[in-house]
Structure 1
């Protein structure tokens, strides 16, 4: 069921650092051709920081760990399934093409021995009273992988998301931040569990957690300051985007991609530029963390 690229297979066999990358950013997160460009740049940033990239997706009834250029391009074509844990087996059985979310990516990564994943922002608890919870959260609660991200997506209920993480025992480490980042924005009022100054500093914490717990850990990195969308400005953009979606009666699974598209247009590209910048940065940070994890010595090292 798993097809592992030779480069990734060799790195894992030799205890070299590997970083898993999700593929929904290609199929559903960014417009073409920027989606493929950013996917390539993330892989290049992982390599430049000393690790091996392993973008994960589903093709022809198998989980592919490490993709070819042709597969990256194929993920940008229409009709690619968005794969989470509820439909992963269905897409595999149908032999369709599927782009993995955070939840599906860490499930796959853990099963082939990859400890670190990079993404933009995790899913979380949606706004409103219906308690719509992303499958990313329960996946994190039961999958021992370190996820490097810029917090949860700003369109979510961040307070409820942070509470969910605490309740289910998922530690949140902040790199150069005391607060849980809000994807497009650097600052919130929600604290992280511990602050470190570099991803290398986070490695000892991550190493202990992955040894003693069967759950994930978040390493949060704020969006680079020069590309931040301040909270007040973002809230204005979000209100306008929500009004547009309500007028178009967009609901369910279509909400998030439609909302991100509307935000990019209403903000005149500011949210898109922030998204691209944090994806590149998080890939580098995840690679630095993965490298540091392979260099750990002592009783907590793998």
Structure 2
């Protein structure tokens, strides 16, 4: 049996950018394989990478192909993750076993953050974080994103956490885990589809340069080894209508309870209900979120490199 290299495989472009000190932005692949419907997912994946380039940085989409973790997917890899039916969803705990199995998989927020930091990439753009699920007091259902961010020094640009989660409990856990959360030009925590989740933040950062300064301070102080979450809300004019959001969320939660959906199936069921009940409006909002976050992450990476 030929054993492949089980470490990280960096694309030539990513390796060159790291060597030359050029700005880099890590991107997850779960949104390609599990978060967006075909055939739009491949087109949007390319748009996300192009948005990073348009703002002066190099995109490093991360995934696993044939058991090898690739940092910087080429177009053939993107196409494979977007179209292959049996793409695994890989969190940090899955990476070693998946590599030994020769799997092809998409990386979550947790695994993308960890891989990016290991590769030397300081900025990561995603849509929304995972968090504490509703009814977690009974199910103990909490995303691995939170624990991973507590031990991974990387800036994560996101639109908060998905509103289908327990936002208050998630913010409490992030505080307990020592993960700094700052609103971008706001002290209100965004609710993914909606601009304001209803919760206040302690800190606000107002420019890419200020975020880059916070990253530099973290590195120089040598005290905190956790992530910096940069919560970037949608403009009010681009959010999902809040009344529609609240009604669809209540309907979705009723469906979950009625059908006794538990564990990993809760989020896909709720997001699928959002897509159908809003006639695709939630998907359009989701795309706006990731494109805006990719743009801001690139600006932060450029400021940090400067």
TM-score tier (shorter): over 0.9
Q: Whole-Å Cα distance in 1 between the matches of residues 235 and 87 of structure 2?
A: 30
- In the TM superposition, what are the counterparts of 1:247-266 in structure 2 within 5 Å? 247-266=258-277
Q: Whole-Å Cα distance in 2 between the matches of residues 224 and 35 of structure 1?
A: 24
- In the TM superposition, what are the counterparts of 1:117-196 in structure 2 within 5 Å? 117-128=124-135, 129-130=137-138, 131-196=140-205
Secondary structure, counterpart of 2:146 in structure 1: helix
Deviation at 1:227, TM superposition (A): 2.3
Q: Whole-Å Cα distance in 2 between the matches of residues 166 and 152 of structure 1?
A: 14
Q: Whole-Å Cα distance in 1 between the matches of residues 71 and 214 of structure 2?
A: 26
Q: Which residue in 2 is equivalent to 1:200?
A: 209
Q: Whole-Å Cα distance in 1 between the matches of residues 120 and 156 of structure 2?
A: 14
Secondary structure, counterpart of 1:95 in structure 2: coil
Q: Which residue in 2 is equivalent to 1:299?
A: none
Q: Which residue in 2 is equivalent to 1:50?
A: 56
Secondary structure, counterpart of 2:271 in structure 1: helix
Deviation at 1:224, TM superposition (A): 3.5
Q: Whole-Å Cα distance in 1 between the matches of residues 268 and 43 of structure 2?
A: 19
Deviation at 1:148, TM superposition (A): 0.4
Q: Whole-Å Cα distance in 2 between the matches of residues 149 and 282 of structure 1?
A: 6
Asked if residue 31 in structure 1 is aligned to residue 40 in structure 2, the reply is no
Q: Structure 1: state its 5+ residue gaps.
A: 296-302
Secondary structure, counterpart of 2:26 in structure 1: strand
Which deviations, in whole Å up to 9, do the C-alpha atoms of 1:114-157 show, x marking residues without a partner? 00000000000001123311000000000111100001111100
Asked if residue 216 in structure 1 is aligned to residue 227 in structure 2, the reply is yes
Secondary structure, counterpart of 2:150 in structure 1: helix
Note if contact 2:117-2:154 (Cα within 8 Å) is conserved in structure 1: yes
Q: Whole-Å Cα distance in 1 between the matches of residues 123 and 172 of structure 2?
A: 23
Deviation at 1:257, TM superposition (A): 1.7
Q: Give the stretch that moved more between structures: 165-174 or 2-11.
A: 165-174
With normalisation by structure 1, the TM-score equals: 0.94
Secondary structure, counterpart of 1:190 in structure 2: strand
Q: Which residue in 1 is equivalent to 2:252?
A: 241
- 1:95 aligned to which of 90, 96, 102: 102
Secondary structure, counterpart of 1:189 in structure 2: strand
Note if contact 2:141-2:263 (Cα within 8 Å) is conserved in structure 1: no
Note if contact 2:182-2:205 (Cα within 8 Å) is conserved in structure 1: yes
Deviation at 1:209, TM superposition (A): 2.0
Q: Whole-Å Cα distance in 2 between the matches of residues 200 and 225 of structure 1?
A: 24
Q: Which residue in 2 is equivalent to 1:269?
A: 280
Q: Whole-Å Cα distance in 2 between the matches of residues 189 and 169 of structure 1?
A: 22
- 1:70 aligned to which of 73, 76, 96: 76
Deviation at 1:190, TM superposition (A): 1.7
Q: Which residue in 1 is equivalent to 2:289?
A: 278
Q: Structure 2: state its 5+ residue gaps.
A: 1-6
Secondary structure, counterpart of 1:233 in structure 2: helix
Q: Give the stretch that moved more between structures: 243-252 or 164-173.
A: 243-252
Note if contact 2:187-2:200 (Cα within 8 Å) is conserved in structure 1: yes
Deviation at 1:27, TM superposition (A): 0.9
Note if contact 1:152-1:181 (Cα within 8 Å) is conserved in structure 2: yes
